[in-house]
């Protein structure tokens, strides 16, 4: 036999033997287990492996070592409206006691608590909130500019519209402003930036679609949160893919009432419309459902047709989780969350990812009124949704889950002496439940506890919103967690977010304040709420929110005879009589741009709908600040494609190797554009190289550059 041939066959034999031995080793040669898809109807999930510790920092917090490294592309942004540390802490203690008693839900509640959602993350059981396992810091929620009469009352305490704007855009603003900064200029939100990056977007809330927090994330931009004529139109035409919350398919909150935009509804905007839990789950589990609008009318608001003020309507919400009167067709927050993820991640399955905002909005209604039982019930329901989202994200390895309240509500304190009786009453329904309306306020709870022999002498409730900072809870894959925390301004090492008892105050009339006890917060772990949105944008390499604002909003350059002309082309022409509600004066208007072949009225779909599509967003209701303002402060929305096509302006587009959305610099008909003065970068158009700070003159066509 040829020696060379023998050696070749001998070597091949040993290779076969080695391969068989390898396959016989434990864990070797097995096919990777495919991830288990979430099931919106059954709640079936698969989880990854992370080991969080009790401080909220994590040991290797992120995907397990066996999970393949993936590009992070999804964001689940959760807001427990009004869920400050007072409610957060009490909810955790209630859950601990429920676990000790072997009780899986509050009396009358529809959401069961669980202890095993994080078992694959190194936690087989947990007594407290899932949220507490991921506590990484606290957020300051105060306003930039105080509200109230400066002579006898001045407060920096925020409302939900201003707080939602800070969380979604990274900009502080004024009381009741939504989607605009304190100078009344529109600011792009994370969902808008996401859509510029071709991502799918969704929103879930237990409140109405156009309540303050949802509209700040819906990409609504209005001077006052109660301007429902504009906010509902902007919501319907925002281009969002999934909407689940309280309301009607017109975006309004009262069934059967005359709509301010009768020709525009979720159906005409191209959504599949669900009106109850059965339809919600049915449509969510249908792969053909790509755009879902679930308009659920709150049972607890059966008399809301008799309500006349915007404040009354804003109180509308899906029934409290512990409300014994609730309908079986009222979905829980967890069911709504699963349905949204089913559509976004399975039905749509966008390769560019998705952005989903989930709000436990009814928590705020309960907490600010001192309804402790329903408030705790809402927090436990929110915590279950959070635990599900973290488990869902961990098995994928490509998703950030962040939970932060917009502000604190209620501000109760001094429950230590009666805490045991209070917790027992919340679990069993002995307190906080009334035969008349199923709810009892703080003072009624005190009376009930007194009758049971508990000491309520120190119990105190501020009510409404407070200036207390709120908890930040974060799950992120290993690949980005350290950078994400650093960009937020939070330490990356383990540490105590809360350090004991402290004080906070709320203003009274005049110069007096009332002080309340609260958890003392470690300043190293306390940041401003404006730091979160820019850090998320950077982590996903989406570009900046400032770039999105510059692209989307056409600043008013001049005004003559009531016509607003944009700096980058087009004009707003007003028509008809001035209309007025309790908060604003406005007139119908039309955006006209002959060169771009656009003629779109404020209250209807654009006439030239094909030209109005930019990425996934139809040309929505034109945003223009009304005539109470100086013209130079005005801005209006224009389609992005028209800008980059050069019909409204000429552009310099800069493509970066590590970002999704390019920088788009806009120019007027003539003139120069200065390149960003970024040290260490150079730009090329393929033939010529440019340095930071160089200017490019208009040459009759758009300019495309790449970063070297």
- Chain centroid to Cα 658, Å, comes to 25
Residue 365 and residue 289 share a domain = yes
Residue 299 and residue 322 share a domain = yes
| Closest of 56, 651, 13, 141 to residue 386, by C-alpha | 56
Residue 558 and residue 539 share a domain = no
The mean pLDDT values, 10 residues at a time, for the chain of 708 residues are 37 39 34 30 30 32 48 96 92 96 92 91 78 94 75 76 93 86 87 92 91 83 74 81 88 64 81 93 97 77 46 66 76 96 97 96 87 93 97 96 92 88 91 61 85 86 84 95 96 88 66 71 91 96 91 81 80 74 64 73 46 36 54 63 63 88 81 86 93 86 89
Residue 491 and residue 352 share a domain = yes
Residue 24 falls in which region: left (phi positive, over 0), alpha (psi -120 to 50) or beta: alpha
Task: Return the bridge partners of 663, or none.
Answer: 654
**How confident is the model at residue 456, as a pLDDT?**
85
Rounded distance between C-alpha atoms, residue 187 and residue 138, angstroms: 24
Which uninterrupted H or E stretch holds 635?
Answer: strand 635-637
Measured in degrees and rounded to the nearest 5, phi and psi for residue 348 equal -85, -50
Residue 295 and residue 190 share a domain = yes
Residue 561 and residue 533 share a domain = no
Final residue in a domain of this structure, among 512, 543, 574:
543
Let me know if residue 415 belongs to a domain. Answer: yes
Let me know if residue 311 belongs to a domain. Answer: yes
Rounded distance between C-alpha atoms, residue 698 and residue 701, angstroms: 7
Range of the domain at 134: 58-63+79-543
Measured in degrees and rounded to the nearest 5, phi and psi for residue 413 equal -155, 175
Three-state DSSP state, 232: helix
Residue 268 and residue 191 share a domain = yes
**How confident is the model at residue 353, as a pLDDT?**
96
Residue 398 and residue 341 share a domain = yes
Q: Are 363 and 671 in contact (CB under 8 A)?
A: no
Rounded distance between C-alpha atoms, residue 579 and residue 587, angstroms: 6
Domain count, the chain: 2
Let me know if residue 674 belongs to a domain. Answer: no
**How confident is the model at residue 637, as a pLDDT?**
72
Final residue in a domain of this structure, among 583, 605, 628:
628
**How confident is the model at residue 61, as a pLDDT?**
39
CATH of the domain at 503: 3.40.720.10
Rounded distance between C-alpha atoms, residue 468 and residue 578, angstroms: 41
- Residues 112-154 have pLDDT tens digits of 999 999 988 876 666 799 999 999 999 988 887 777 665 556 7
**Cβ neighbours, 10 Å, residue 643:** 24
Let me know if residue 698 belongs to a domain. Answer: no
Whole-model pTM over 0.95? no
**How confident is the model at residue 642, as a pLDDT?**
58
Rounded distance between C-alpha atoms, residue 25 and residue 108, angstroms: 52
Residue 557 and residue 510 share a domain = no
Q: Which two tokens stand for residue 443?
A: 């003072």
Q: Which two tokens stand for residue 663?
A: 């920088």
Measured in degrees and rounded to the nearest 5, phi and psi for residue 642 equal -70, -30
Q: Are 567 and 669 in contact (CB under 8 A)?
A: no
Residues 32-45: b if buried by 16+ CB within 10 A, e if exposed:
eeeeeebebeeeeb
Residue 488 and residue 617 share a domain = no
**How confident is the model at residue 53, as a pLDDT?**
32
**How confident is the model at residue 309, as a pLDDT?**
52
Q: Which residues contact 561 (CB under 8 A, 6 or more apart)?
A: none
DSSP assignment, residue 562? T
Residue 556 and residue 417 share a domain = no
Residue 516 and residue 562 share a domain = no
H-assigned helices in 197-324: 212-217, 228-236, 277-284, 310-314
Q: Which residues contact 689 (CB under 8 A, 6 or more apart)?
A: 682, 683, 708
**How confident is the model at residue 568, as a pLDDT?**
77
- Residues 288-325 have pLDDT tens digits of 999 999 988 654 443 444 444 545 555 577 888 987 56
Q: Which two tokens stand for residue 630?
A: 């100086």
Q: Which residues contact 157 (CB under 8 A, 6 or more apart)?
A: 142, 143, 407, 465, 466, 467, 506, 507
Which uninterrupted H or E stretch holds 207?
Answer: strand 200-208
Strands 399-403 and 470-475: what pairing?
antiparallel
Q: Which two tokens stand for residue 117?
A: 């959602």
DSSP assignment, residue 184? S
């Amino acid at each position: 036999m040829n020696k060379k041939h023998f050696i070749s066959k001998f070597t091949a034999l040993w290779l076969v033997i080695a391969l068989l031995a390898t396959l016989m080793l434990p864990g070797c040669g097995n096919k990777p287990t495919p991830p288990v898809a979430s099931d919106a109807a059954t709640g079936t999930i698969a989880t990854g492996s992370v080991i969080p510790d009790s401080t909220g920092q994590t040991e290797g917090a992120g995907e397990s070592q066996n999970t393949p490294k993936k590009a992070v592309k999804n964001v689940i942004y959760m807001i427990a409206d009004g869920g400050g540390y007072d409610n957060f802490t009490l909810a955790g203690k209630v859950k601990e006691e429920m676990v000790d008693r072997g009780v899986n839900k509050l009396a009358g509640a529809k959401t069961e608590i669980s202890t095993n959602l994080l078992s694959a993350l190194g936690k087989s059981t947990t007594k407290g909130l899932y949220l507490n396992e991921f506590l990484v810091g606290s957020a300051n929620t105060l306003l930039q500019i105080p509200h109230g009469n400066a002579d006898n009352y001045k407060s920096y305490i925020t409302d939900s519209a201003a707080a939602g704007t800070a969380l979604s855009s990274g900009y502080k603003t004024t009381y009741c402003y939504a989607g605009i900064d304190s100078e009344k200029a529109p600011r792009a939100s994370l969902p808008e930036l996401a859509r510029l990056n071709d991502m799918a977007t969704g929103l879930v809330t237990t409140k109405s679609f156009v309540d303050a927090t949802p509209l700040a994330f819906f990409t609504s931009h209005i001077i006052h949160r109660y301007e429902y004529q504009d906010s509902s139109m902007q919501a319907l035409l925002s281009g969002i893919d999934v909407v689940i919350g309280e309301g009607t398919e017109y975006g309004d909150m009262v069934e059967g009432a005359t709509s301010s935009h009768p020709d525009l509804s979720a159906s005409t905007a191209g959504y599949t419309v669900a009106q109850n839990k059965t339809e919600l789950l049915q449509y969510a589990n249908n792969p053909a459902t790509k755009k879902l609008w679930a308009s659920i009318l709150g049972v607890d608001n059966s008399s809301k047709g008799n309500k006349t003020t915007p404040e009354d309507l804003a109180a509308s919400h899906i029934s409290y989780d512990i409300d014994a009167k609730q309908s079986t067709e009222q979905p829980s927050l967890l069911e709504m969350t699963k349905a949204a993820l089913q559509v976004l991640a399975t039905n749509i399955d966008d390769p560019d990812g998705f952005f989903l905002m989930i709000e436990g909005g009814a928590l705020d209604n309960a907490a600010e009124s001192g309804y402790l039982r329903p408030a705790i019930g809402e927090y436990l329901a929110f915590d279950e949704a959070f635990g599900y989202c973290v488990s869902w994200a961990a098995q994928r390895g490509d998703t950030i889950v962040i939970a932060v309240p917009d502000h604190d509500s209620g501000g109760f304190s001094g429950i230590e002496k009666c805490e045991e009786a209070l917790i027992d009453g919340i679990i069993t329904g002995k307190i906080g439940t009334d035969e008349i309306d199923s709810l009892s306020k703080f003072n009624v709870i005190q009376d009930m506890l007194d009758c049971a022999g508990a000491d309520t002498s120190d119990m105190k409730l501020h009510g409404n919103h407070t200036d207390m900072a709120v908890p930040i809870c974060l799950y992120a894959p290993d690949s980005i967690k350290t950078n994400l925390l650093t960009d937020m301004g939070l330490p990356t090492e383990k540490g105590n977010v809360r350090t004991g008892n402290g004080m906070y105050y709320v203003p009274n009339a005049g110069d007096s304040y009332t002080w309340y006890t609260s958890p003392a917060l470690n300043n190293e772990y306390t940041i401003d709420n404006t730091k979160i949105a820019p850090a998320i944008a950077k982590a996903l390499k989406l570009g900046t929110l400032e770039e999105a604002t510059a692209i989307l909003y056409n600043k008013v350059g001049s005004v003559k005879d009531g016509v607003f002309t944009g700096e980058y082309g087009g004009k707003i022409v007003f028509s008809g009589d001035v209309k007025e509600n309790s908060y604003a004066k406005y007139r119908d208007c039309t955006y006209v741009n002959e060169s771009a072949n656009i003629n779109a009225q404020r209250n209807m779909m654009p006439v030239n709908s094909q030209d109005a599509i930019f990425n996934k967003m139809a040309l929505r209701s034109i945003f223009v600040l009304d005539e109470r303002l100086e013209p130079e402060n005005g801005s209006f929305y224009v389609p992005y494609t028209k800008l980059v096509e050069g019909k409204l302006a000429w552009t310099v587009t800069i493509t970066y190797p590590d970002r999704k959305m390019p920088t788009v610099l806009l120019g007027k008909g003539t003139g120069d554009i200065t390149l960003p003065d970024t040290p260490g970068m150079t730009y090329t158009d393929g033939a010529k190289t440019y340095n930071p700070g160089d200017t490019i003159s208009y040459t009759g066509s758009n300019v495309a550059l790449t970063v070297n």
